[in-house]
Structure 1
């Protein structure tokens, strides 16, 4: 099983403030814990794609994906150029909460995603869709908004499931991942009480309400497990190390440091 476990990455939003103060030092510290991947967010805007690419490479981190707006409309080519220079082959973003208020709103929003998928494919890049809670909470004539979305999306669009927000929408992350199958390539891992989308304070992975063993052993096409910790009331790097120990120690994710040997 060891060779097939998805790699463990950090979503840059988790360490964005630290990275803005010291990009190279922050990424090196993430890698020292044992994380092997990085999903970018906010770093390209702060430092430019070349410096972020080089800093990740120097730390030994693979860029799993870029969390960046869908490359559609007037900004499309700029966003694609940035991602290509960054070395990110998958660009991930979301529709807005209100775009799940009706089937027609979903249909209108999907036009933007599918335009992005077509333009990205011309550059050898892939678009990924990242959910929040409305996709699972809202339903129309017995059909879940997420199912409507998936049916309308260009089949080239892959999925980054945010398991925590799916749970907040009333879904079982393990069931969703199983249903998605190979289309699910990335998963956001966050933990907490799963009570309020806007107010939940996150905790290290394994200390909250999510059954991660069930979710992360469900059959799917996952290639990366991406830890995202937001609104923490504890030290960020302590939380990242605790999360690493939980996920790698339980044999769910693959890292570069055996549990018990991490130095931060």
Structure 2
């Protein structure tokens, strides 16, 4: 069965901060089934965000939030426990892939987070950017070293677009990850510049999503994230939904995006 389709709330962050409940309801009206939160809990607090997600009939897929390690760990866990998050997703910094030693030091932080999260019944997932794939040491990609060092309890959220930017084939990466990859960030565009790329609706850029997502995998969620756009955000989300669900790559709600409910 196809993975369910959701949205990373960075895509609608300004709109959600202006109208949280209305924005989430509109995502549900397009047929999206869940959200990965970013930048909302800090603005509204976990209780209101949790209530708004439930009111819209959406699933909280995961929370994009720093790894719960170091002095702020318990506070982060308290907040996400109140939010109702079962999976916490974050990344290492680009410079942490400058050497194998830097990778090992960064992984210590993630593994500490995995241990602390497990004590609360939560899990950690790792989200990549491009340095994980562009950096190599002794013929091995930094990403492969990262995966080898990570605690087995750490899940993977593959950002397919940034994998392409790092020179990787996301379809091959997903095939190698198997059940460990539970989530994939789906974004499309020219795949030229990490800082400057303008995204386009899914299916209108350079990535072959049928090849990338059409194979059996451990993925549970396809999470659409459109970071910078030159067209209206909800129009881009509608067209993205139509591409992914219309081709049977993702599973959406009962309301087709072309018949968006009024909210």
Report whether the alignment pairs 1:128 with 2:94.
Answer: no
Shift in Å at residue 258 of structure 1?
A: 3.4
Report whether the alignment pairs 1:38 with 2:35.
Answer: yes
The runs of 5 or more residues in structure 1 that have no matched partner are none
With structure 1 as the length reference, what TM-score do the two structures score?
A: 0.97
Residue 25 of structure 1 is aligned with which of 7, 18, 22?
22
Q: Any idea what the Cα deviations from partners look like across 1:41-97, whole Å, max 9, x if unmatched?
A: 000000001100000000001000000000001110111111111111000000000
Residue 160 of structure 1 is aligned with which of 151, 154, 157?
157
Task: Give the whole-Å Cα distance in 2 for the aligned partners of 1:191 and 1:65.
Answer: 21
Matched residue, 1:7: 4
Report whether the alignment pairs 1:99 with 2:130.
Answer: no
Matched residue, 1:229: 226
Shift in Å at residue 218 of structure 1?
A: 2.6
The answer to whether the Cα contact below 8 Å between 1:99 and 1:105 also exists between their aligned partners in 2 is yes
Equivalent residues in 2 for 1:1-264 (5 A)? 4-256=1-253, 257-258=255-256, 260-263=258-261
Greater mean deviation of Cα atoms: 55-64 or 250-259: 250-259
The answer to whether the Cα contact below 8 Å between 2:238 and 2:258 also exists between their aligned partners in 1 is no
With structure 2 as the length reference, what TM-score do the two structures score?
A: 0.98
- 3-state SS of 1:91 partner: strand
- 3-state SS of 1:198 partner: coil
Task: Give the whole-Å Cα distance in 1 for the aligned partners of 2:84 and 2:62.
Answer: 9
> Please, what is the CA RMSD of the aligned residues?
0.9
Total equivalences in the alignment: 261
Shift in Å at residue 263 of structure 1?
A: 3.9
Task: Give the whole-Å Cα distance in 2 for the aligned partners of 1:15 and 1:180.
Answer: 29
Task: Give the whole-Å Cα distance in 1 for the aligned partners of 2:101 and 2:217.
Answer: 30
